[in-house]
């Protein structure tokens, strides 16, 4: 089983290893303690203290905050319960006209806005573009990743989290509380 120094994994994450070395790492058996080292490295890099439970994207993490498990941006902005699609708490900018699409796609590179809209999900805290969707009108936003955190920690890592919660998508529970009128 391969073992790597934390410093080498940091250089791997930061794209500082040679391609030859990256290929060696890719071809070798995977290191069993990667997750622990990965989380430790990321924890050092964020400006807040909440414990990272699982990295979701380059900017978003599931963290423990008090009794709750929430999605948090590296900048510190919080999106709420990890079982609710975090996009519901993001800013969104949608390109749905030719003029709006032109800022990114022009001429023969432009998709048809009556077929597709480009949705940009922005962190209200730092302005990072967190995800982009290219979907037709009517498509609910993708809830890309809903991890089964308790199974992961209890059965795969062998160190259960102290407070088990139901593994369920709670997005529609939130939607049910929303008003459809714009008052």
Partner 1 sequence: MQRKAITKSGARSGLKRARAGHPAAGGTLRQKLETNERLLRETGHLFGLEKLRRKETDPGTYEAVWQILLNICNTAHVVGCRVSSSPIAAEGGDALWSLHLPTGEAVCTSRGIVSHPGLLSLLLRSYIESGYEDNPGIRPGDIFENNDPHFGGIHSADFQTTVPIFAGGKLIAWAASVTHVMDAGFVLPGSIGFMNPDCFSDGVPVVAERVGENDRFYPWYEKRMRSRTRVPDWTMGDARGRLAGCLTIRERVLALVEKYGLDFFEDVSREYIEDSRRYAVSRVRTQATPGRIRKSNFKDLAMAGKRVLLPQQNVDCLFNLPLELTIDRSAKVAISLRGASGWVPFGENITPNALVSGMLNAYSHMVGFDMFNWGAVAAWRLEDPPLGSWANPYSANYFAASGVAWAPAVVWMSSLYEAFGRLYWSRGFVEEVAAGGATTMTAEFSGVNQYGLYTAGLTLEQACNGGPARAIADGETSAWCIYTPNADFGNAEVSELYYPVVYLGRNLEPDSGGYGKFRGGLGHTAVWLVKNTSGIEYQCGCAGIRSKVCGNHGMFGAYPTWPDRAAYASGTNLKELAEAHRPLLHERGDPERPTIGKDIKAEVIEPNCIAPFVTPGQLHEWDVIVHPVSGSQALGDPLERDLELIRKDLDDGLERERIASEVHGVVAHFDEKTKHWSLDAAATQKKREAMRAQRKARGVPFREWWQREREKILVKENMAEAVLAMWRSSMQLSPAYADELRAFWKLPDNFGF
Report 127-146 residues binding partner 1 (CB under 8 A): 127-140, 142-146
DSSP states along 82-143 = TTS-GGGGSEEEEE-SHHHHHTT--GGGPPPTTT-EEEEEE-TTT--EEEEEEE-TTPPPP-
Residue whose pair of structure tokens reads 């890592």 in the numeric block = 157
CB of 37 to partner 1, least distance (A): 7
DSSP states along 33-80 = THHHHHHHHHHHHSSS-SEEEEE-SSSEEEEEETTEEEEEETTS-EEE
Nearer to partner 1 by Cβ, of 3 and 114: the residue is: 114
Binding residue for partner 1, selected from 6, 8, 39, 165, defined by CB under 8 A = 39
- Kindly state whether residue 3 participates in binding partner 1, applying the rule CB under 8 A: no
Binding residue for partner 1, selected from 6, 88, 161, 165, defined by CB under 8 A = 88
**Candidate ranges 43-51, 63-71, 103-111, 158-166; the one touching partner 1 (CB under 8 A):** 103-111
CB of 156 to partner 1, least distance (A): 6
Nearer to partner 1 by Cβ, of 63 and 130: the residue is: 130
């Amino acid at each position: 089983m391969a073992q790597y120094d934390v410093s080498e994994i940091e250089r791997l994450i930061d794209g500082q290893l040679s391609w030859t070395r990256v290929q060696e790492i890719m071809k070798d058996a995977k290191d069993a303690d990667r997750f622990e080292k990965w989380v430790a490295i990321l924890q050092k890099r964020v400006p807040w203290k909440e414990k990272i439970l699982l990295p979701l994207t380059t900017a978003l993490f599931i963290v423990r905050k008090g009794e709750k498990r929430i999605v948090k941006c590296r900048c510190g902005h919080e999106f709420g319960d990890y079982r609710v699609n975090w996009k519901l708490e993001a800013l969104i900018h949608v390109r749905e006209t030719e003029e709006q699409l032109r800022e990114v796609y022009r001429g023969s590179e432009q998709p048809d806005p009556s077929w597709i809209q480009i949705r940009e999900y922005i962190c209200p805290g730092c302005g990072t573009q967190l995800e982009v969707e290219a979907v037709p009108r009517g498509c609910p936003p993708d809830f890309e990743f809903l991890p089964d955190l308790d199974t992961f920690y209890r059965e795969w890592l062998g160190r259960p989290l102290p407070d088990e919660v139901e593994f369920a998508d709670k997005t529609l529970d939130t939607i049910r509380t929303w008003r459809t009128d714009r008052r």
